[in-house]
Structure 1
Amino acid sequence: MPADPRPLLAVLADDARRLLFAEATVAASRLAPLDVERLPAVDRRRIDALERVGLVEVVDGLVWARDPFTATLDRAPSREGIERFVHDGRIRDWPRRPADRMALMGWAAERAVAAGEEVDEPTVTARLAAVWRDPATLRRDLVDAGFLTRDAEGRAYRRAE
């Protein structure tokens, strides 16, 4: 499907063009494509419109249906959960919804401090730098949200249980 599907959709919005596309598709599937020269002038104009948007191809006067839909429909499924915000192991976008933010912070906390592990501030910051462009702010946010805890001196971090 083209990057901008509006011209394609505009062509298909016309009942007569849509029916002609269906007829061309069925005829081509039976290896008996429509002959452009045998079509009325109005249908030849409709075939031109279908060809401009890639729905048919006219080869040697014969109309062959093309399929701009399969590639689009076969694409990878949409990302769900935190995958919408994490690409190649790094946070690319910060979510707007609080539930998404909490899920993403939980993911980041797991990468910063393993369960039962105690690490110093530079280690936490370095680990968070591997996943987000502002590791110090993320570290403070993880503490504020309760994902990480700090000792009384603020030197050692643990993941909240």
Structure 2
Amino acid sequence: MDSLHKTFIAGCLTLVLLFFYAFLSPSPSIALKPLNDDAMIELSPSTNQIASINHEPELKPLDDQNLDVVSPATNAPPPLSAEEYSAVIKAEYNASVCFIKCHQKNDFSPSDKTRKQWQRLIEKNGHDIFEKISWESALKKDYVLIYLYENARNPDFKTEGIGVWKP
């Protein structure tokens, strides 16, 4: 009976602890609860408060004519066609720092290596000097990489091992 008595007391104690935890524990923060419409209206500033904000006197509202001057969409150059894009990256490649500082035009061709080999040589720092070259901009470096990849011996990144499999 002694063990039955201890089990009964342990069970009662467990129930009391669960009761205290369930009913006396702190409730979740109001900040974590979504607000209903009434609360949103109550917390939002009134139109009088918004109107009372002092704006800079030189700021004027924009009309339709001023929007054309401000909007970048109206000032952006038209998109390039595929041929124009290819011409741009080829020109960037031919005028790149590679041929200014290190190589001659006939030293190598993009088709000398596969796309994966170009990636290893350039992006994976296989070519020590490539990461030390001071490029005019990251875009110019990207143009050279794109040109090499698009004109590589295997531009599709097909499996390369002993040889390149042709479809």
Output the TM-score relative to the length of structure 2.
0.24
Instruction: Give the structure, 1 or 2, with the largest relative contact order (CA under 8 Å, sep 6 or more).
Output: 2
Output the TM-score relative to the length of structure 1.
0.24
Which structure has greater helix proportion? 2
The structure number with the bigger radius of gyration is: 2
